[in-house]
Amino acid sequence: MQNSLKITLLCAVVAFFSSCAETSKTHSNQLKISFTAPADVWEETLPLGNGRLGAMPDGGVQKETLVLNEETMWSGCEWDPANPEAKKLLPEIRQKLLEGDNIAAQELTLKYFKCSANGGENPKYGSYQTLGCLELDFSPMGIQNVSDYYRELSIDNAVANASFSFDYNGQKARFSREYFVSIPDNVIVVRLTTENAPLNFSFALSRKERAEVLANDTVSTMQGVLNSGDESRLGVQYFSEAKLVKRTENEAVILISAATDYKDIIENQDRKDLSTIGQMVEKQISAASVFSYDDLKQRHIDEYKRYFDRVSVQVGKQGRNGEIQAVDSAALYLQFGRYLFICSSVNAQLPPNLQGIWADAINTAWHGDYHLNINVQMNHWPMEPGNLSDLSEPITRYVESIVQSGERTAQTFYGTDGWAGHVLANAWHFTAPSEDPRWGSSFTGGAWIALQLWEHYLFTKDEDYLRRIYPVIKGAAEFLRANLFEFDGYLVTGPSTSPENAFRKDGKRCCICAGPTMDTQICQEIFSAVEQSSEILKTDSAFANLLKTTAAKLPPMRISADGRLQEWLEDYEELEPQHRHVSHLFGLYPGTTITSPELCEAAKKTLERRGDGGTGWSRAWKINFWARLGDGNHAYKLFKNLMTPVKAERCDPDNWGNTVSYSGGGAGTFANLLCSHPPFQIDGNFGGSAGLMEMLLQSHIVKPDGTRVISVLPAIPDEWECGSFKGLKARGGITVDCEWRNGKITDLQIYNPKNEKIEVVKGL
């Protein structure tokens, strides 16, 4: 019956997986991004990828461009940014903070406590770069009088297409194109077909710089060497090839692949020469070419759906026949986030960067790197609840890979054990403070990204994985504990910042402080993670006890006179009350230290003062905040703000600086659903997708007796009066299916294969 409630607790997941594919197919009409014209700008192209390779076709009529990507196209190199003066000045900087002279502490920090040789502005730091383009020229076909134009990206099978009609010899002809990036066969696939007209075209690869291109009627190759930033070192070498593997009068199939020697560099192996890299690429294309187009496509779809079909979501109002009618694009946006995560992670060596894997520039915005003060963490927020835990290897491997660099940073800048990460991070293991400590001196970035690995354990309960990553989280905790110093009877961090905010001190703008609230919250979280891990793995009990004693000396969160959660130890005057970062609410989301009614009320007042604007990723973060506070209507308002349509003003993508707005101007969503910071930054997509999941399901609270609280529909808005979801994940290895009608849950199934001790709380 519609108003009845059915709750089933199961210890197996077989019944769930058997129904997912059918559900996803049934609602596939909701899972498309479509256009009735070719892309005018890159932000209207359609993103395709398989973790290693990316492609964005524009669907042009006379000429078409596919912007291409390969995940390891990184300029720069590994280098030592150590500054020997920094460690010497650390005691003096901390003394100035103890004296309350933040301005003097800031002056010293700006002068001495930063990396050598300009940090992120040093060519050695490098940048993620576009691979280039595949240019297709159809002008020999004399296409005229185009009509019925349509192109789309199908989210549920990771295939894009474009088609249109045109006049040919007095009759209607049809031109169709289809594109995908094969997960199992590691190639980009383009199929061109015509009806009632012959297919006539040419193609070639291209790149703005550092490219040697050769082309004939059937194959185009491109090779080059990226700038290492160091004249004495060879940069990343790359090779790409586009090959026509089938051509008839009305059909053509092109396969594209690429590779670099980045892995040789990073693993300190003998480097391949360009001809050897080229042979690897040719081998990939040859292996894929043995399959027919239909087989290639089906192999790709089958592998993609193995990930995507685990989750289905519908939200909206109830139609006359009982079906759910979508009132917005929430389900599409949620699934698009999962789509982008699969397409930038599934075969990847590196985790998705600020661009995911999709960049159309040489000088990518913010270097396309891995900022550790929220951005790379936000990239992974939808992974666990979105039932994609088995795609955690790239981020796990990456965090493991920066530990050694982080240990050098801990020793050279702080003189302590453990490992540290600050704000800037890249493919070359950069972990030092940046060139500008006002935004780059926060040293809890390493611990924050280590907590992402801890989250993977919490969701999977995989003790082998925990044993693997325990040294990572332990090392992050060691560093933070060693860098706490006594301040007004508490242990605090410093010199640090509340990213990337400032306050007024002695009439001046100041960023450098001791014990910003976010730092304290991260210390609490990483110390707790190590304590729990120690107990689970039965190791390091003495160190765990030391962390417990240390945590008791951390300052409590403080509430200001007007009821807001303080961002700093002192209730400084904010210079930007609506600043895009709300770092001191880390403990609300993704952390777990803000759960009491008093602190939640203070967090609410903080958010009300911050406002509902901000950059794209900032709006996404606020969806998660309001969801954790149980306010579905306000979370939904932030989702609508995130979905504000943005028309990209096309300029030279390599001169992206003139499109940047830190105050929220131009923030929202481009026509192809990619998030606008501006410019494009993919963390908003991932954060927004995770926020929608958080509105449907939460599992972060654990009671003192160890019972995990599973909160179902904790924050849905009034507009979602009915809906369903299948396959969302809760911590503890738990899978949840739910259906609700007219504001009441009608079916709820909890799959609990680890036999976790749980309490189910229904939000409606």
In contact, 172 and 148? CB cutoff 8 Å: no
**Of the residues 695, 720, 749, which one is the last residue of a structural domain?**
695
> Once rounded to an integer, what is the mean pLDDT over residues 580-584?
96
Residues 136 and 105 grouped into a single domain = no
Residues 605 and 629 grouped into a single domain = yes
Tell me: the pLDDT tens digits for 139-171? Answer: 999 999 999 999 999 999 999 999 999 999 999
Look at residue 119 in the predicted model and tell me its pLDDT: 83
Tell me the two tokens of residue 154: 């199908």
**Of the residues 695, 711, 733, which one is the last residue of a structural domain?**
695
Query: In this model, does residue 616 exceed pLDDT 90?
Result: yes
Q: Which residues on neighbouring strands pair with residue 709, listed in sequence order?
A: 759
- Residue 702 belongs to a domain: no
Q: Indicate which CATH number applies to the domain containing 513.
A: 1.50.10.10
Residues 277 and 255 grouped into a single domain = yes
Listed in sequence order, the residues at least 6 apart from 753 whose beta carbon sits closer than 8 Å to its beta carbon are 11, 12, 13, 733, 734
Our count of domains for the chain comes to 2
pLDDT category of residue 2 using cuts at 50, 70 and 90 = very low
Residues 114 and 135 grouped into a single domain = no
Which stretch of DSSP H or E encloses residue 312?
Answer: strand 312-318
Q: How far apart are CA 131 and CA 223, in angstroms?
A: 10
Which stretch of DSSP H or E encloses residue 734?
Answer: strand 734-741
Q: Indicate which CATH number applies to the domain containing 138.
A: 2.70.98.50
Look at residue 14 in the predicted model and tell me its pLDDT: 26
Q: How far apart are CA 247 and CA 245, in angstroms?
A: 7
- Residue 585 belongs to a domain: yes
Query: In this model, does residue 387 exceed pLDDT 80?
Result: yes
| Strands, E assignment, 42-154 | 48-49, 53-57, 63-70, 132-137, 144-154
Q: How far apart are CA 512 and CA 451, in angstroms?
A: 24
Look at residue 651 in the predicted model and tell me its pLDDT: 60
Please provide residue 117's backbone torsions phi and psi, each rounded to the nearest 5 degrees: 60, 40
Tell me the two tokens of residue 228: 């290492």
Q: How far apart are CA 217 and CA 337, in angstroms?
A: 38
pLDDT category of residue 659 using cuts at 50, 70 and 90 = confident
> Once rounded to an integer, what is the mean pLDDT over residues 451-460?
98
Residues 251 and 361 grouped into a single domain = no
Q: Return the percentage of the chain with pLDDT > 70, whole number.
A: 96
Neighbours of 363 (CB within 10 A): 16
**Of the residues 676, 695, 714, which one is the last residue of a structural domain?**
695
Tell me: the pLDDT tens digits for 326-372? Answer: 888 999 999 999 999 999 999 999 999 999 999 999 999 999 999 99
Look at residue 650 in the predicted model and tell me its pLDDT: 64
- Residue 633 belongs to a domain: yes
**CA proximity to 559, closest of 595, 622, 605:** 605
In contact, 574 and 567? CB cutoff 8 Å: yes
Q: What residues make up the domain containing 580?
A: 100-126+335-695
Residues 472 and 598 grouped into a single domain = yes
Residues 249 and 372 grouped into a single domain = no
Residues 166 and 53 grouped into a single domain = yes
Q: How far apart are CA 174 and CA 159, in angstroms?
A: 19
Query: In this model, does residue 28 exceed pLDDT 50?
Result: no
In angstroms, what is the C-alpha Rg of the chain? 26
Tell me the two tokens of residue 105: 């502490």
Residues 104 and 196 grouped into a single domain = no
Could you please report the per-residue DSSP string of 458-517?
HHH--HHHHHHHHHHHHHHHHHHHHT-EEETTEEE--SB-STT--EEETTEEE--BS--H
pLDDT category of residue 77 using cuts at 50, 70 and 90 = very high
Its sign, for the CA torsion 358, 364, 365, 369, is positive
Tell me the two tokens of residue 190: 């383009």
- Residue 753 belongs to a domain: no
Neighbours of 236 (CB within 10 A): 26
- Residue 710 belongs to a domain: no
* 39: helix, strand or coil: coil
- Residue 183 belongs to a domain: yes
Residue 430 exposure: Cα atoms within 13 Å on the Cβ side: 34
Look at residue 243 in the predicted model and tell me its pLDDT: 98
- Residue 719 belongs to a domain: no
Look at residue 383 in the predicted model and tell me its pLDDT: 98
> Once rounded to an integer, what is the mean pLDDT over residues 465-494?
97
Residues 293 and 360 grouped into a single domain = no
Q: Return the percentage of the chain with pLDDT > 90, whole number.
A: 89
Tell the residue number behind the tokens 């919490």, with chain if given. Answer: 458
Rounded to the nearest 10 degrees, the angle between the axes of helix 330-343 and helix 683-696 is 130
Listed in sequence order, the residues at least 6 apart from 664 whose beta carbon sits closer than 8 Å to its beta carbon are 580, 613, 614, 615, 618
> Once rounded to an integer, what is the mean pLDDT over residues 700-714?
97
Query: In this model, does residue 20 exceed pLDDT 80?
Result: no
Residues 363 and 433 grouped into a single domain = yes
Residue type, 710: I
Q: How far apart are CA 456 and CA 394, in angstroms?
A: 12
In contact, 472 and 453? CB cutoff 8 Å: yes
Residue type, 31: L
pLDDT category of residue 649 using cuts at 50, 70 and 90 = confident
In contact, 391 and 342? CB cutoff 8 Å: yes
Residues 56 and 46 grouped into a single domain = yes
- Residue 188 belongs to a domain: yes
In contact, 316 and 722? CB cutoff 8 Å: yes
